[in-house]
Structure 1
């Protein structure tokens, strides 16, 4: 079992920060960070959470840090089946179904002109997320939906230097959509902390007109 200092060092290195970088961000001395990482100083729970906050450690892993330091977990984890999370559960279920249909060429994906580009964006985003916060369930979803395929070679034409839109062909018309990602602000529950919902909106006037008629 890793010590709290070892786990903090792993997160610091994962974020590409030096001990001095972390010390400045957390308003502590670099020597103190060094002592914590080497186990020569036992950090308080507040210090653990202060360092974890600067390292953008997910709530689940913050609990792991606290346990490694000999303290009780600070964050609850309620099941999506919990009454308090029923609305979230329904939203997530709809979104996951939409993701599978949207990326599968046999489903909604057959309408996406630039499906290879869209899959490439998802692949890059989730790869970065897995690199910073490994998760077996997300890895399984990645392998199910986003494993590279021969037909996934991205197109040469870039529609915009700001975002890559999702282009749909419906009834002979091309519709362009851009996406936004919504997360829950300052969550105190692990389940809520791990949820992000992506929504699509019309990217131009013609596409907006189509969806409002």
Structure 2
């Protein structure tokens, strides 16, 4: 088994980003000659240079450790399990954030869309899901697109499915994650529910000026509309934290606001 050199890895990331050696050198306060020497193995970059190049190339934190190891340095970023005692403050903070957002839905997912935490708004949307989809770690993409999951309840399923698959494609292009690619291939292969078993790809209400593509989903006979917002942590120093995303579903019309507030304790 051949282990890639740091130069080869950096060249791969540079090409993925579409940078020339000269452009990368300018961004990293270096020279194209030095970048060339690093990529060809004629020069061993310092630890500082590896991290600087990784930053300019927007290399995911997990892969920055791989670059450091390939260059002969120790990994810089920990990969701490969420149930580790050192993550208590983070877990409690996320729980307060999700609870404070109720009655509107919000959840936290990891790099492969496994649900790390969710509030009661999300659990309300999952009412009636089959046990096999709720067993084991919940996966947001699987729950949303599976023909026995939320898919039959989504009125604009084709649009929303296309949005989610495109989002995963962009992430795969950025991180080249094999687990994420496997998930993408799984959910992309799900058949669309038969028309007789879903509300249908109805048009949104033209009277409502949506600010973004809405998720239009039915719950207990009521059509709800949401727009999605995703947040990540700024300058994370841990692989686990770097791969967390907080998704909040903002009510997109007054009827959704009224309905969710009517369900609140």
Bucket of the pairwise TM-score, normalised by the shorter protein: 0.7 to 0.9
Query: Is 1:93–2:116 an aligned residue pair?
Result: yes
1:123 is aligned to 165
- State the aligned residue count: 212
User: TM-score normalised to the size of structure 1?
Assistant: 0.86
C-alpha distance in 1, partners of 2:138/2:246? 12
Q: Is the 8 A contact 2:151 2:193 kept in 1?
A: no
User: Runs of 5+ in structure 2 lacking a partner?
Assistant: 96-107, 109-114, 119-136, 195-200
- Which of 44, 47, 51 matches 1:45? 47
More helix by share: 1
**Cα displacement string for residues 141-179 of structure 1 (whole angstroms, at most 9, x for unaligned residues):** 223333363569xx6968889521101234554321000
Change (3 A) 1:24 1:79: same
Which whole-Å CA distance do the structure 2 matches of 1:167 and 1:16 have between them? 37
Q: Secondary structure at the match of 2:43?
A: coil
CA distance in 2, matches of 1:203, 1:156: 16
1:114 to 135, 139, 156: 156
Stretches of 4+ moved more than 4 A in 1?
Answer: 88-91, 155-162
Deviation at 1:108, TM superposition (A): 2.7
User: Residues 122 and 146 of structure 1 are in contact (CA less than 8 Å); yes or no, is this contact kept in structure 2?
Assistant: no
Where does structure 1 lack aligned partners over 5 or more consecutive residues?
A: none
Per the TM alignment, residue 57 of structure 1 is displaced from its structure 2 partner at its CA by 0.5
Cα root mean square deviation, aligned: 2.8
Q: 1:148 to 1:103 in 2, by over 3 A?
A: closer
